[in-house]
Every structure is written in structure tokens, then in C-alpha cells.
Amino acid sequence: MPITEFDAAAGVARHIPFATNGAYPVRAGNRVRPLVDGEPAFRRICEAVEAAGRSVWLTVAFLGEDFGMPDGRGSLFDVLDRAAARGLDVRAIFWRVNPETEAVVAETFPGSRGQLAWLDARRSGFHARWDRGQKGYCQHQKSWLIDAGEDSETAFVGGINLVAGSVVAPGHPIADGATHPQDHDVYVELSGPAATDVAHNFVQRWNEASDRAQADGVRGTSGSVDLDFPSQLSPPRGDSLVQIQRTVRARSYSDSRASPGAASFDIAGGDLSIFAQYQAAISAARRSIYIENQSFVTPEILVGLRNALERGVAVTALVPADAYDEVRRARRQPDKQGLFDLLGSLGEFERFALVGIAGKDRAGRRHNVYVHAKIMLVDDVWATIGSCNIAPRSFFGDTELNASIWDPAVVKALRCELLREHLDFETADLDDLAAMALYRKVAGANRARREAGNHDWQGAAFALDPASYGT
């Protein structure tokens, strides 16, 4: 896929190319703030909603009945209704499952007759549309947009689901009586020109939501009203280069107008810029690749990582210690054994580590934390944060949204924050290679302690066996 380098005059991360096969160009002048774990992320999102002066728009994939915002702010609908009661334009796009995805309907808000009646009974003032994926695919984007079109326009892009297990503090202390697994996850807050591309994505999805012509596919007085596409970019707010990237399957959109300042883009041809960016960043890596992802089973990515290891690049991948269901299912398929042989072969390299994390309860016992994050950091200068798993369905099927960031200061700070949580070490004085070596050392020692039945570890990370992962 076509890849090119950004103009060298910008002065950052010159060796990491950007994707040229997507809807949005690289934007300069952004302020970027990564948000690690659900409690801080949703606290900050709620603060932005409460400070909004014009609008609150969001895309929702999964939503649990027991989800509650931090600090007693109530449910998602409490937050949206309070914003609507202040006169804001509040809109949500909800994923509506198909027969092929009916198994997860209880984990979504599909706009059933009972749910619509419940919203009417509580006099919810927000507007909504419901949008299906194609066949067995998911509308997997999880984004928030505050004050679209205003100078204060702010976007949040990430992978954190609206479920109880997501609202957790960094460090993952396990509460007594916890009945759900803890999720480790990441969002990113964006303000500046790249936020306008998040707005463009929302407008495109809103205007073309699959069920917009059905009586139960819209809600609210503005639910049946289309939105205007952005006509100008947000003003510069910071120093980061950001490119909004997506997975959008080929689909016949009636209106695919480009975002301001972008080349025309025919969405009917699909947008696979996240996959292109992953391949480009891995191929360009010179020193280190750090991954946190729920899944780790895309052959092209594993081949790229093996090639990087052969070049001497250090690769660390944080995954769920209790593997994702799709990984476990793939492990049992005879035609997938070559994929897992490839994963196992990464363990032959001294500079590779496959890692899980486990939190501690008050009694000092360890419990595995589910890694739901979808991020990658390269050479301490570039990062991607979003909703896309390292899985074929995420790269080529589900609808996804990521922000790629070229800013060494932001990326190193994120690396230090993550390793502070996982290793209980401050690594600000270490370069990326030394930090990855420390990660491998701590995770290896913790694995030995875990296997000996000792729960007294340094941090939360422990090494996993790549050859048997997912069995």
C-alpha cells in the first residue's frame, strides 16, 4: 500500500512513514493527551462533556447494563441527558447487531422496543441513530466529540468499552468481591485540526447509518436530520502531528465528501489505513516496538515483527494472559497452526517478550488483568491509539478508528506512564532500549515467582510463553 514520509521540515519522527491510502492527511498543530485506564479516561471525558458549550457526539460499540461513570456520575444515559437538558446537541450512534452477531446483543444497546420505550419514559433528550456492520462485523469505533465546529472542538479516540470492568484505576487493584475481570485500556484526547477529522468521520457515519430510514432506527427530533460536513479545520492547539486512520469496509456511501484540506476519497473503495500504518511503522522501526493489544494473530504483523527482531529491534507485546476467545478458537483450528508456529518463533529472539499483567487484591493474591488496549509505540517517537485489534477482522472487517501520533515527547511520556504501572519502575531516565530490557528482566523474574506460587512481585507484568499462548 502506498506509504510516504512527512516533510522533513516538521522535525520529528522522520523515519516513521504515514499512510496515504486513507481519508485523512497528517495534521500539524494538535494537542495530544493519552488517558490510561478507564477511570481516568471516563473522568476526563465527563469533565469535557460537563464543560461543553454546543454539542456532544459519540459512537458506541459495546454497552453494559451495569456500566457507571466514575465519581458517582451515573450511567451513560445520565451523562447524556444532563448534557441535553443544558440545551446541547447530543447525538449517539449505536451499533445494531445482525443475525451473525446476535450472540453479543446483550452487551450492546440495539434500540429494542423495550429500550426505546425506556428512553421515552425517562424523557431522554439526546438524539440517536442505529448502524449495523456488514454481516458478522462490528461497528467497533469508540469515539467522543465535544463542541464540533467550535474553536474548542475536542475529540476522544480509543478502545475502552462502556462496561463495568473498564472503569478501573491505574495499577489495577482488585476490589474485594469483584465479579468482573479488570480491563487495562487506553484512550487519547485530541484538540486541534485532527479533531475535525474525527468530526468528519462522525458526520459520515451519522448521515449514512444503516437503519436511518427505519422507524426504530432513529430517535429524537433531530434523529432524522442529517448533519453538515465540517467546512474548516479547528485552529492549532499544540505541537503534535496526528493522522486519523480507519478501517471501513467497502460500502456504497451516497456522500463521501473529503475532510477540509484533504484529497477526495471514495469511501466505496474502503479505508484500510490502520493496517497500512501498522505495516509501515513496524518496517521502519530501528530500535524498539512496544505493543499492547487484546489480540495478536495477524500473520502479516507477526512476519513484520520477526523481520524487525532479525534487524535487532526490541519487541515487547502486552496481551491478555487469559487469551482472547478468538485467539483460543484459532488455536484449535488445524489450518491456523502455521500462524501459532510463527508466534512461537518470536520467542527464539532474546529481545522479544510476550507479557501479561496481574493485579493484586487486599489479601495479596494475584488476579489476571484483561488487556483490552489497542496501542503500539515505535522508537519512542511514534504511537497509535484506537479501537483496532491486531486481528484480521479489525484490520479488514470491523469499523475502527485510530489516531497515529508523531511526537517524541508525548510518546516517551506514555511509555513511561505505562511502564510505571506495569513494572512499578520509573523509566524516564532510560532510553527505549534500556526500558524494554528492564521490562523483559522484570517480567521474567515475575514469571518465576508466579510459577513458584509467590504473589510478591515487582509491578504487575509477567512473561508468557509464545509457543503455548492461547492453548
C-alpha cell at 132: 449495523
- Banded pLDDT at 308 (limits 50, 70, 90): very high
End-of-domain residue from the set 184, 208, 224:
224
In the structure, what pLDDT confidence band is assigned to residue 257 with cuts at 50, 70 and 90?
confident
Kindly state whether residue 347 falls inside one of the protein's structural domains. yes
Residue 254 phi/psi, 5° resolution? Answer: -80, -20
How confident is the model over 205-249, as pLDDT tens digits? 999 999 999 999 999 989 889 999 999 999 999 999 999 999 998
Q: Please tell me the distance from the alpha carbon of residue 359 to that of residue 182, in angstroms, as a whole number.
A: 9
Residue 399 CA to residue 93 CA, distance in Å, equals 13
Please choose, from the candidates 134, 145, 126, 102, the residue with its C-alpha nearest in 3D space to the C-alpha of residue 210. Answer: 134
State whether 214 and 342 are in the same domain: no
Cell of 305: 515483527
Boundary of a domain, candidates 224, 244, 265: 224
Q: Where are the alpha helices (DSSP H) in 188-253?
A: 193-207
Q: What cell was used for 24?
A: 485523512
CB 188, CB 35: distance < 8 Å: yes
The H or E element containing residue 172 is none
Buried b (16+ CB within 10 A) or exposed e, 434-464: ebbbebbebbeebbeebeeeebebebbbbbb
Looking at the structure, tell me whether residues 283 and 218 fall in a common domain: no
Query: Considering the domain boundaries, does residue 362 fall inside one?
Result: yes
Together in a domain, 426 and 293: yes
pLDDT band at 358 (very low <50, low <70, confident <90, very high): very high
pLDDT surpassing 70 at residue 3: no
- For residues 66 and 210, state if they share a domain: yes
Residue 298 makes CB contacts below 8 A (sequence gap 6+) with 390, 391, 392, 395
In this structure, the answer to whether residues 295 and 385 fall within a common structural domain is yes
> Do 293 and 389 fall within a single domain?
yes
The 3-state DSSP class for residue 41 equals: helix
200-215 pLDDT tens trace:
999 999 999 999 999 9
What is the pLDDT, as a whole number, of residue 261? 81
Q: What is the pLDDT of residue 326?
A: 87
- Cα separation, 241 vs 219, whole angstroms: 37
pLDDT tens digit sequence for 364-383? 899 999 999 999 999 999 99
313 and 208 in a single domain? The answer is no
Strands 288-293 and 374-378: antiparallel
Domain assignment of residue 247, yes or no = no
Assess whether 198 and 283 both reside in one domain. no
In a domain, 46, yes or no: yes
The pLDDT, as a whole number, for residue 420 is 98
Share of the chain above pLDDT 70, in %: 93
Say if residue 314 is in the same domain as residue 406.
Answer: yes
pLDDT at 267 > cutoff 70: no
Domains identified in the chain, total number: 2
Local confidence band at 1 (pLDDT 50, 70, 90 cut-offs): very low
Cα gap 376→317, rounded to integer Å: 9
Regarding whether 291 and 220 lie in a shared domain, the answer is no
* Burial class of residue 98, CB neighbours in 10 A (0-12, 13-18, 19+): middle
Strand bridging mode 186-191 / 154-158: antiparallel
Domain interval for residue 367: 275-463
- For the domain that residue 288 is a member of, what is the CATH number? 3.30.870.10
Q: Is-contact 369 183, C-beta < 8 A?
A: yes
What residue has cell string 523481520? 307
Q: Are residues 213 and 297 in the same domain?
A: no
Q: Which of 305, 310, 273, 307 is nearest to 289 (CA)?
A: 305
